[in-house]
Amino acid sequence: IKSIIDIGIISSILLLLPSCSSQEQAKEEAMQTSDKPNIVIFYVDDLGYGDLGAYGATAVKTPNVDALAHNGIRFTDAHSSAATCTPSRYSLLTGEQAFRNKRARILPGDAPLLIDVNQPTLPKMLKKVGYKTAVVGKWHLGLGDGFVDWNKAVKPGPLEIGFDYSFLLPATGDRVPSVYLENHHVVNLSQDDPLYVNYKHKIGNRPTGYENPELVRQTPDEGHNKTIVNGISRMGWMACGKSAEWIDEDFYQVFTDKANDFITANKEQPFFLFFPFHDIHVPRLPHKMFQGQTDMGPRGDAIVQMDWITGQIVNQLKKYNLLDNTIILFTSDNGAVLNDGYEDQAEELLGEHKPNGIYKGGKYSAHEAGTRVPTIIHYPNRVKPGVSDALMTQVDIYASLANYLNIPLENQEAIDSQVLTDAWFNAQEPGRDFIIQQSVGLALRMGSWKYITPANENRMKRKAAIKERKNIDIGAKPTAQLYNLTKDPSEQIDLAARMPEKVAELAQLLAKEKAR
């Protein structure tokens, strides 16, 4: 009898055991997951301060992004570190101001990888504590270490600087090669039709915008009139590689699917998804589904497309019950621009819409609209919804995530990055004391004040060119400029001549920061 009882006890213990330990395991996993939230960075291209419903736009509807703003913190004074794409991306991924690296400027499509493979990066740091990392979208940080043969393994690239997976537009939508790159390889490239790229002179016999203007769907400026792909002439020449060509109107689905597949594959463990959109950069060619959704033509419709993509990815997080434990950072790499290489009626159809809100300048500019961009943090597990006027910069994403995840930084790692998690998670907390804004020159914001460095002759020439072609004031003057943004947010009154001491104080702080 005893032995029967024993067997009974043992077997019930045995029966109990697996469920017990699986409960333990589930608890442990849950703790791990809440320890390590997923991280998704939505990085829109050229989205201006006034381009979203949540930031006052009425001519375009952005319900998906607005929902993130409504349920998270919407920042009113948050900045990309630069007024153009490559330097902003560089700062975000390295925690270092881009002016420290002389090569961190807008790159051509055949530029070598900008970030050194030995340099610390945000994805490398996250990998140290077990994150799976991916970049899906526009890269524009260079590839390879000199000449790239697109028919072989293209490296070093994202995989060598900390991403486990990459699916890219290698440079931008307006630059060749107009093909997708998945990890090290051009997608769908046929061995019989190898792909060549040149930025100095014409190669191959494909039509170009300057030779066959009748073949293009949008009239280019002279920077964008080289090889025609999908009816759009690009920057640079591309020969052969026909089978691999992208169709711009498919971007919305292709990138959404790749991002969502990555989420599905990693739903059981912490992941970092860096999602740099092509939208709303030129050429603006939203899919039919979005065409005509606004009265603003392709630029407005591209904003709607961007919003839709955001919604699809957020839905994927919801589907797996991951949304509450995901830190979503939604922002842009620089301010808005209307004409940036193609005639797509962005200016003519603008109506009352204010792409940069009340701010002066735009993409390329040292004025506020160069870097003051929509910025939203959504993280239901920690963030109480609100609106924050804390001064913020994307350079701080690196150290803030490190701090939140208890990852110690090395001595020379992310040297410009500060911990701003208090402000990330609480709209009442203050932001930074000062920020540096990089454009063709540098500017510094501190308290109410904004200081812009004096411009040299080159910068003055660039100012004239950008004013003429893009109708943007890049904020270059031969003398220093000073504005009081509390009283004069639109930078109308230059106080530099009246307040030389303030100018000197801010110039000194900037010089000290540069010398670090």
Binding-site ranges for Ca ion (CB under 5 A) = 45-46, 85, 333-334
Q: Which is nearer to Ca ion, 73 or 168 (CB)?
A: 168
The values of phi and psi at residue 316, to 5°, are -65, -40
Cβ count near 190 (within 10 Å): 13
Structure tokens at 445: 């914001």
3-class state of residue 63 by DSSP: helix
CB of 140 to ligand NG6, least distance (A): 5
| Site pattern 293..332 for ligand NG6 (x: CB under 6 A) | ----------------------------------------
106 binds, among ligand NG6, Ca ion, none (CB under 5 to 8 A by kind): ligand NG6
> 273 pairs with which residues across the strands?
40, 134
| Cα 30 from Cα 213, distance rounded (Å) | 59
Element (DSSP H or E) covering residue 99: none
When the beta carbons of 342 and 404 are compared against ligand NG6, the nearer one is 342
Tokens representing residue 382 in the block: 């920690």
Residue whose CB is less far from ligand NG6, 50 or 341: 341
Q: Which two tokens stand for residue 439?
A: 């454009």
Q: Where are the beta strands (DSSP E) in 349-475?
A: 375-378, 386-388, 392-393, 434-438, 442-446, 449-452
Q: How far is CA 342 from CA 109, 401, 409, in A?
A: 18, 38, 44
Q: How far is the CB of 34 from ligand NG6 (least distance, A)?
A: 36
Give me the helices (H) in 436-476, please.
Answer: 457-470
Q: Which of 51, 96, 340, 344 touches ligand NG6 by CB under 6 A? A: 340
Element (H, E) at 341: none
Q: Which of 64, 84, 178, 403 binds ligand NG6 (CB under 6 A)?
A: 84
Among the listed residues 66, 96, 164, 174, the single contact to ligand NG6 using CB under 6 A: 174
Question: Which amino acid appears at position 296 of this protein?
Answer: M
For ligand NG6, give the closer residue by CB, 179 or 482: 179
Of Ca ion, ligand NG6, none, which one does residue 172 interact with (CB within 5 to 8 Å by kind)? ligand NG6
Q: Which one, 334 or 400, has the nearer CB to Ca ion? A: 334
Residue 140 binding target from Ca ion, ligand NG6, none, CB below 5 to 8 Å by type:
ligand NG6
Residue 86 or 453: the one with the smaller Cβ distance to ligand NG6 is: 86
Phi, psi of 337 (to 5 degrees): -140, 145
- Nearest approach in angstroms of CB 98 to ligand NG6 is 12
Supply the minimum distance, in Å, between the C-beta of residue 45 and ligand NG6.
6
Of the pair 132, 140, the CB lying nearest ligand NG6 is at 140
Q: Cis omega (within 30 of 0) on the bond before 156? A: yes
Q: How far apart are CA 385 and CA 394, in angstroms?
A: 20
User: DSSP for 226-253?
Assistant: SBEETTEE-BSEEEE-GGGB--GGGHHH
- List the single partner that 413 binds among Ca ion, ligand NG6, none, CB under 5 to 8 Å by kind: none
Of 225-233, 290-298, 313-321, 333-341, which segment contacts ligand NG6 by CB under 6 A?
333-341
Shortest reach from residue 259's CB to Ca ion, in Å: 19
Q: Going along 207-348, which residue ranges are E strands?
A: 228-229, 232-233, 237-240, 271-276, 326-332
User: Is residue 248 part of the contact set for ligand NG6 (CB under 6 A)?
Assistant: no
Q: Does 172 bind ligand NG6 (CB under 6 A)?
A: yes
Residues 396-435, one symbol each (x = binds ligand NG6 by CB under 6 A, - = not), give: ----------------------------------------
Residue 281 binding ligand NG6, by CB under 6 A: yes
- Min dist. Cβ of residue 306 to ligand NG6 (A): 14
CA distance 143 to 141: 7
CB of 306 to Ca ion, least distance (A): 13
Q: Tell me the β-bridge partners of 82.
A: 438
SS (H, E, C) 470-504: HCCCCCCCCCCEEEECCCCCCCCCCCCCCCHHHHH
* Nearest C-alpha neighbor of 381 from the set 422, 327, 331, 423: 327
Residue 178 within binding range of ligand NG6, rule CB under 6 A? no
- Could you tell me if 206 and 178 are in contact, meaning their C-beta atoms sit under 8 angstroms apart? no
108 vs 194, which CB is nearer to ligand NG6?
108
Shortest distance, CB of residue 281 to Ca ion, whole angstroms?
6
Q: Applying CB under 6 A, does 45 fall inside the site for ligand NG6?
A: yes
The answer to the question of residue 362 lying near ligand NG6 (CB under 6 A) is no
Place of tokens 């270059």: 476
Residues at the interface with ligand NG6 (CB under 6 A): 45-46, 84-85, 106, 140, 172, 174, 223, 281-282, 334, 340-341
